[in-house]
Amino acid sequence: MDKNAALLRGRLGFGARLLSGSWRDLLVVAVPALLVLGLIAWAGVRYVRLAPPHSIRFISGPDGSTYQTTAEKYKKIIEKLGVKVEILPSHGSYDNLHLLANPSFEADVAFVQGGLTDGVDISGLVSLGTVFVQPLMVYYRGSEPIEIIAQLRGKRLAVGPEGSGTHALTMKLLKANDIDEKSATLRELTGEEAAKALVDGEVDAAFLAGDSATPKLQRHLRETPGIALMNFRQAEAYRRRFHFLIKLTLPEGASDFAKNLPPQNCQLIGPSVELVAREDLHPVLSDLLVKAAQEIHSGPGMYREAGEYPAPHEREFRVSPDALRYYKTGSRFFYRHLPFWLANLADRLIVLLVPLLVLLVPASKALPALYRWRIRSQIYRWYGALMAIEREMLSAATPESRAAIRTRLEGIERAVNQLKLPVAFADQLYVLRDHVANVSRRLQTGSYGSA
């Protein structure tokens, strides 16, 4: 029988062998497996974000500001790789943070100065790294040197316009020195307004930072007699007290060698500026931004060593896991060897296909075994019914009981004859039919009593 079944299988084509099988059994086994794989594929497309990103919305700063000009550098680098960068103007760092933290505002990333997060929900924001430091310059009038902020109590101070990063930082430092509107005259002036007021004698000191402390403005103040730059004698204490501040040194003569300005090393403090993004930023966009940051900010400068920035320092914002991975390992393999769009597609496909392959390999072994078990279970079910009839035959003493057994046996015989199984199980099917016929003969001849 085994030999005949093998010959029959060899003569039948694949389609005939498939049609000869039980479609119902095949569907019962295959459909759940396909549904599971389909669900995994859907989850992969949904959460892995297969489609390549097309744009980055970058909040920069006011027109002509350092933030805006730096954002333009990011735009130039990233758009070479095929991703559009849309630069969104703002009123400055304080505005950047609030716009980025607002879910209804469409943006991806922004420059954010440290020390501005009080009262702001930053749980949905992450840092892609500290990109540079923004020194705080305090220029003052008078012949007596001022080296601690407490010396400014009772004076007229330009503290930056309301809503600016300079204003937020200045008010925080004044509060730490017990200086407020009652103990000093505070004027909310822009950088140029503050410098003019200081030169004209309308204020005694001006706090300038970021774009309010432009090189041109600082040169003008340095060249004005009677105005000096404050040397923060307590710089180290500020650094330890406010973790977003960094201690800086302006070397002697760094501003003007010929005039030796400043005349000695000047200790300064300044907040870090971080590249902050929403936590759902696509990993590929994160890589592009960090890559651009390394090109733009890694060189030496007045307040940084070569390679010091960007850096994944944990300050007020959580550092993005994608950014951390990039800082440790750099660009992924495909992005180093393929065009951006193709690398992105290959990278996403691998993330999607690897889990599928992990499931497909064991499934390719388990599904055939499950299918064979289901087919055999149909044969075993009829063997169970046949064995039950044989037991009843041993105790059948009346013509009525034997007639009932015969009716049941005929039903089994019809069901077995109509049973559709794959060709691979033909030998077992024919053996089952022989056994049914044998029991039927025994019932007819009455030879079951001695069995």
Q: Between residues 82 and 75, which one has the greater pLDDT?
A: 75
Q: Between residues 229 and 372, which one has the greater pLDDT?
A: 229
Q: What is the pLDDT, as a whole number, of residue 332?
A: 65
Mean pLDDT of 21-32: 57
Is residue 21 scored above 50 in pLDDT? no
Q: DSSP character for 155?
A: S
Distance CA 68, CA 92 (A): 10
Mean pLDDT of 387-395: 83
Q: What is the pLDDT, as a whole number, of residue 45?
A: 55
Distance CA 406, CA 439 (A): 10
Is residue 9 scored above 70 in pLDDT? no
pTM over 0.85: no
pLDDT tens across 157-211, in order? 999 998 888 999 999 999 999 999 999 999 999 999 999 999 999 999 999 998 7
Q: What is the pLDDT, as a whole number, of residue 291?
A: 93
Identity at 65, one-letter amino acid code: S
Distance CA 409, CA 415 (A): 10
Q: Which of 69, 15, 6 is nearest to 426 (CA)?
A: 6
Domain ranges of the chain: 2-44+363-445
Nearest 5°: phi and psi at 234?
Answer: -100, 25
Q: Which of 230, 271, 288 is nearest to 77 (CA)?
A: 288
Is residue 234 scored above 90 in pLDDT? yes
pLDDT averaged over the chain?
84
In Å, how far from its chain's centre is CA 303? 32
Q: What is the pLDDT, as a whole number, of residue 194?
A: 95
Q: Which of 445, 386, 381, 393 is nearest to 410 (CA)?
A: 386
Distance CA 447, CA 398 (A): 15
From residue 356, alpha-carbon distances to 30, 38, 279, 352 in Å are: 16, 10, 27, 7
What's the CA dihedral at 408, 414, 420, 421 to 10 degrees?
60
Is residue 349 scored above 80 in pLDDT? no
Which residues are registered as beta bridge partners of 245? Answer: 271
Q: Is the dihedral of CA 344, 347, 350, 355 positive or negative?
A: negative
The reply to whether omega before 262 is within 30° of 0 (cis) is yes
